[in-house]
Amino acid sequence: MSEAQVRADDRAHVFHSWSAQGLINPLPIERALGSHFWDYTGKKYLDFSSQLVNINIGHQHPRLVAAIQEQAAKLCTIQPAFANDKRGEAARMIAEVAPGPLNKVFFTNGGAEANENAIRMARLHTGRHKVLSTYRSYHGSTATAITATGDPRRWPNEPVAVGVVHFWGPYPYRSPFHSENEAQESERALQHLRDTIVFEGPATIAAILLETVVGTNGILVPPPGYLAGVRAICDEFGIVFIADEVMAGFGRCGEWFAVDKWGVTPDLITFAKGVNSGYLPLGGVVISDEIAETFRERPFPGGLTYSGHPLACASAVASMQIFKEEGIIEHARMLGEDVIGPELSRLAEKHPSVGEVRGLGVFWAIELVRDDRKTPLVPFNAAGAAAGPMNDVAAACKERGLWPFTHFNRVHVVPPCTTSVEEVREGLTILDEALAVADGFY
């Protein structure tokens, strides 16, 4: 099919996520391999976005493609009430890498459904109804997940679900608590959470839902002690701790689950994306023995036709085998420690527009500013149009063959976990050039 036909069909009939349909012009993509994809003109892009922080294993991994083909030839689909080899194997492998007594997996089609069902489990387990989640978070676009979301994507959807209360999580660079260092930020954020619980009524609160490392809202890495403090507060008040690892899990942070970095065990972990790099839609909830026990005699009142889909589960099994055999998690950790972190710090010294660098593994952000008062380099021009500085930075990357992930005043550096050191350096060299554009607005 010609590029013109792809564009014509798209513009005439595809209704895109999060977009004003008349103002977009999606780039047609023809093929992909490893850390690259190609458009219909043959132009090659280095994928520093991982397709919404998703293809942790890279594009078109041949073993993963083969595993899907093999399963497709045998059994494409069965409904959730049956047992199946790939369904059971995927659940076992996920439980084996999950921390502590998290031994059961409820499969969904993606991250929002995972959070939806984790909240449902927490409510039924505790008999309480409120859910606490942070501002500057994203949990998905279904009813409770978008209500729990603490960013502007929630506003046009309100009112949807009830019982969600937002609080401030730690963010040392723009501290909501006016902290001067990470230790203070951690301590004050925990005190604020405790105060919120006390004023909301501990006996009404079923769950605290947190992104272990905040993703689309800026790669906010929790300061030391914060997650352990949240765990302790949950234990004190009988609240279920749900860690949303839809973006942070499965190698992205250089660990199987990001919580491993801090040695913290939540009661429920939600996942999607990296579990099978999105080759087929798959997400889920890893469930503690204690919460699973609630539903031993009593039915869990929820389900999905495609829960534990054999093709998706076969791809998760293959993906996890590849992760283990090819040392992908260790590679992601090394990229963060030895290459991305040091290189981004170097860029921060060189470019006045870089306000802060933060991240771990292959999960990094640089926050761009206009001045030394940290005024964000916003994605609008002086007339308020959706163009301007950040779009110019993104365009400078794309012209040079780098596909970036930009959000508000940040460039997120989120290549696949499998990206080579040379490819990462190549991408960062392009980013270095593009940052001259941001410096022009400083």
- Considering the rule CB under 6 A, would residue 211 count as an interface residue with ligand PLP? yes
- Considering the rule CB under 6 A, would residue 359 count as an interface residue with ligand PLP? no
- Considering the rule CB under 6 A, would residue 246 count as an interface residue with ligand PLP? yes
- The interface region with ligand PLP, picked from 3-11, 189-197, 208-216, 375-383 by CB under 6 A, is 208-216
Instruction: Give phi and psi for 306, each to the nearest 5.
Output: -100, 15
At 209, which helix (H) or strand (E)? Answer: strand 205-211
Rounded least distance, CB 248 to ligand PLP, Å? 7
- Considering the rule CB under 6 A, would residue 216 count as an interface residue with ligand PLP? yes
Residue 380: C-alpha distances to residues 56, 98, 388 (Å): 31, 42, 5
If the CB atoms of residues 48 and 351 are measured against ligand PLP, the closer one turns out to be: 48
Handedness of CA 392, 393, 394, 396 (dihedral sign): positive
- Considering the rule CB under 6 A, would residue 390 count as an interface residue with ligand PLP? no
- Considering the rule CB under 6 A, would residue 266 count as an interface residue with ligand PLP? no
Q: Which of 193, 272, 369, 390 is close enough to bind ligand PLP by CB under 6 A?
A: 272
If the CB atoms of residues 197 and 210 are measured against ligand PLP, the closer one turns out to be: 210
At 354, which helix (H) or strand (E)? Answer: strand 354-360
b/e per residue, 284-322, with b = 16+ CB within 10 A? Answer: bbbbbeebbebbeeeeeeeeeebbbbbbbbbbbbbbbeb
Instruction: Give phi and psi for 131, each to the nearest 5.
Output: -125, 130
If the CB atoms of residues 132 and 435 are measured against ligand PLP, the closer one turns out to be: 132
- CA terminus-to-terminus distance, the chain: 45
Q: Which of 111, 170, 225, 359 is close enough to bind ligand PLP by CB under 6 A?
A: 111
Handedness of CA 184, 185, 188, 194 (dihedral sign): negative
- Considering the rule CB under 6 A, would residue 283 count as an interface residue with ligand PLP? yes
Residues in 400-429 that interact with ligand PLP by CB under 6 A: none
Rounded least distance, CB 308 to ligand PLP, Å? 16
CB 286 within 8 A of CB 91: no
If the CB atoms of residues 266 and 389 are measured against ligand PLP, the closer one turns out to be: 266
Residues in 88-107 that interact with ligand PLP by CB under 6 A: none
If the CB atoms of residues 245 and 343 are measured against ligand PLP, the closer one turns out to be: 245
3-state secondary structure 76-98: CCCCCCCCCHHHHHHHHHHHHHC
If the CB atoms of residues 164 and 339 are measured against ligand PLP, the closer one turns out to be: 164
- The interface region with ligand PLP, picked from 128-136, 209-217, 334-342, 404-412 by CB under 6 A, is 209-217
**What type of residue sits at position 55?**
I
Tokens for 80?
């959730």
Q: Partners of 283 in the beta sheet? A: 108
Give me the 135-154 binding string for ligand PLP, x by CB under 6 A, dash otherwise.
---xxx--------------
Residue numbers of the site for ligand PLP (CB under 6 A)? Answer: 52, 110-112, 115, 138-140, 211, 215-216, 244, 246-247, 272, 283
